[in-house]
Structure 1
Amino acid sequence: MGQAILDYFHNENPEDLHTETSISELDELPVAYLFRDFEMMNIIEKKALQLSSGKILDIGAGAGSHSLYLQDEKKLDVTALDISPKSVEVCRLRGIKKAFAKNMLEFSGEKYDTILLLMNGTGIFQSLKVIDIYLQKLHSLLSKNGQILIDSTDILYMFDKDEDGGVYIPAEGYYGELDYIVHYKGQSEDPIKWLYLDFNTLKNAAENNGFTIEKLIQDDDSYLAKLMKR
């Protein structure tokens, strides 16, 4: 994905990305979508950016569209964080003043008033087995009265149903734990673990790790939640 973002920015024959998961077929993701402006964002993204205040940490910043809006339009102090060095290079080239290529678990230093995890922000947690590690890290990065704005989708709708409305889901593990694969220009990344969470499961995990949680928006099967220190 980082290479696609870099190619698009430099206009070096970019191609669309193709993504798939362990329960879905190949899907096309236009690289241009990662460079969209505020008006092209969905209702969840717009709400999160409107609510953002203070010192911002944008985790999983990608091409930096959320960070750029907050820095340039809202004049906020923004740090963009992404695991991809090429994505972070583009963030800097687009004018984001503070951008770092690091895993969030290895990132430390300041406290933030708003932490953003958007475009299925729960994906970064990988699995329910390790979600506590990520939530405790987020707790340590958050200021006393700060907020975490995070979105996800309940993907129960993707599973087959029987005649009575019952859903066929895997016998082992949580149904939102998927393998996620990205393809670009004939090359494929190794599968990564990606977590989609229904709101109640996120609520239980958040409360077990010292947060209060509120659902701000429900948009079809997707939602935006706000976490604060209890």
Structure 2
Amino acid sequence: MDLLGKALMDYYRGQAPEALWSHGSLGDDEEVPVSYFFRGHPQMPPLEQKALEHCRGKVLDIGCGAGSHSLYLQEQGLACLGLDHSPLAIDVARQRGVHETACENILDFRVGDFDTLLLLMNGIGIAGDLAGLRALLKHLAGLLRPGGQILLDSTDIIYMFEADEDGGVWVPGSVSYYGEVTYRWSYGKQEGESFPWLFVDFRTLEEEAALAGLEAELLETGAHFDYLARLSRPAYENRA
């Protein structure tokens, strides 16, 4: 059930959208304004703006949604392909003017040779868990040209857990890493299925990136445990 895509399409068509809610396993239920997915560059958070400044060459916008980032990059003269697994989101992105799109799961997408892979709005969360992150980074590295980069933002959600007197943090035993959570969408009276999502701290990201042959760089930190990172594929690789 493509509830997010339906909400995007309803908004784009000028219909009064129902309330779109995100329900998290940590009790972080939140109403999400659909208009947020249609924001222009001035309304984007500073980390997103900074990420767009760092884009170069041929760009793959992974999880492009309604296409706001792709549209901005096109305006800057960059070749950008917007990718999303939601058919309705891709339809909206196309109608808004995104020139190149693909409706596909990123793990099934194998057309490589990109200079920049863009995963914003915690797009790396599609990995689901740490095991999925390792597989995803290895796949993404194969889509990059030598010297290419992955730009992503995420959040260290350790602040959401209670600390004991010794400074340790209590994490539910049902997960292997505290950043592994689940979400589901609800839109109007419709309820979506739960899906896994990952928030990864930079140190863990750096370790997993190294296993995929990528070098991690912390570009900027945000106001609330969020950060922007670049993962780079070496320009010259030892294939011995």
Q: Where on the TM-score scale, by shorter chain, does this alignment land: which range?
A: over 0.9
Instruction: Identify which range, 74-83 or 158-167, moves more after superposition.
Output: 158-167
Alignment of 1:39-78 (within 5 A): 39-72=42-75, 74-78=76-80
* Residue number in structure 1 paired with 2:169: 167
1:222 to 219, 223, 226: 226
Q: Which amino acid aligns with 1:214?
A: E
SS at match of 1:130: helix
Deviations for 1:28-50, whole angstroms, at most 9, x for unmatched residues? 10000010000000111000001
* Amino acid paired to 1:158: M
Corresponding residue of 1:157: 159
Stretches of structure 2 that go unaligned for 5 or more consecutive residues are: 235-240
Percentage of pairs with the same residue: 45
* TM-score, normalised relative to structure 1: 0.96
Alignment partners' CA distance in 2, 1:9 and 1:130: 33
Q: Scaled by the length of structure 2, what TM-score is found?
A: 0.92
Count of equivalent residues: 229
Structure 1 residue 17 corresponds to structure 2 residue 25: no
Deviates more, 1:162-171 or 1:37-46: 162-171
Structure 1 residue ranges, 4+ long, deviating more than 4 angstroms after superposition: none
The runs of 5 or more residues in structure 1 that have no matched partner are none
Q: CA RMSD in A?
A: 1.2
Contact 1:15 1:31 in 2 (8 A): no
CA distance in 1 between counterparts of 2:152 and 2:200 reads 11
**Helix, strand or coil for the counterpart of 1:25?**
coil
Specify which of 179, 183, 202 is matched with residue 199 of structure 1: 202
Aligned counterpart, 1:126: 128
What is residue 96 of structure 1 aligned with on the other side? 98
What's the offset of the Cα at 1:165? 4.0
Amino acid at match of 2:46: I
What is the CA-CA distance between 1:163 and the residue it aligns to? 4.3
Letter in 1 for 2:227: Y
**Which has more strand, going by share of residues?**
1
